[in-house]
Amino acid sequence: MSRYVSDTIPEECLRAFDGTGLEEKFGEAHLLVSTDDDGTPRMCMLSAGEIFAAGPKLLRVGLWPNSRTLNNLKKGKRVLFCFIRPQLVLYLKGTPRYIGFDPQAGVERVEIVIDSAESDEHPGMPVTHGIGFSCDREARSAILEHWNKVLAALKKA
């Protein structure tokens, strides 16, 4: 069962999305859940290179143009962000606001004003890992290069 933690972004998330140490954060994925017009939940996986914590209540995300998630977020309906790591599950809830397209990074920018953070813990049954991904060395270099462009776009928003 989840329990209320705060009306701000917890410290673990602020550190995870501070725009630094991307090499060490490579491979971690996080879920952003929006809602389609018919009420169907829409999941979007994001990495540390696509999320920037711009303050204690503000997450900025970089999304591909024309995605269904982007279309949902532009409508301003509440969203759920899931941060999952070993021993830690956090749910951040908030309201999105479209910022605009950044041509240098090739991404659409959205900021999410967080108004609630919850923790989901199950004593005796700890979470052992979050969602992860991998790729070959060549792709990794290209991804890290792209992430730096995305984070620069999110920081200047």
Position 123 scores a pLDDT of 83
Q: What is the pLDDT of residues 33-79, one digit of tens each?
A: 999 999 999 999 999 999 999 999 999 999 999 999 999 999 999 99
Q: How many whole angstroms separate alpha carbon 141 and alpha carbon 85?
A: 24
Q: What is the mean pLDDT of residues 17-45?
A: 97
List all residues 6 or more positions away from 31 whose beta carbon is below 8 Å from its beta carbon.
43, 44, 45, 46, 81, 82, 84, 131
Position 124 scores a pLDDT of 87
Domain boundaries of the chain, sorted by first residue: 2-155
Band of pLDDT at residue 157, cut at 50, 70 and 90: confident
Position 121 scores a pLDDT of 85
Position 26 scores a pLDDT of 96
For 3, the token pair is 């329990």
Q: What is the pLDDT of residues 89-132, one digit of tens each?
A: 999 999 999 999 999 999 999 999 999 999 998 888 989 999 99
Position 122 scores a pLDDT of 81
Q: What's the CATH architecture for 2-155?
A: Roll (2.30)
Position 1 scores a pLDDT of 78
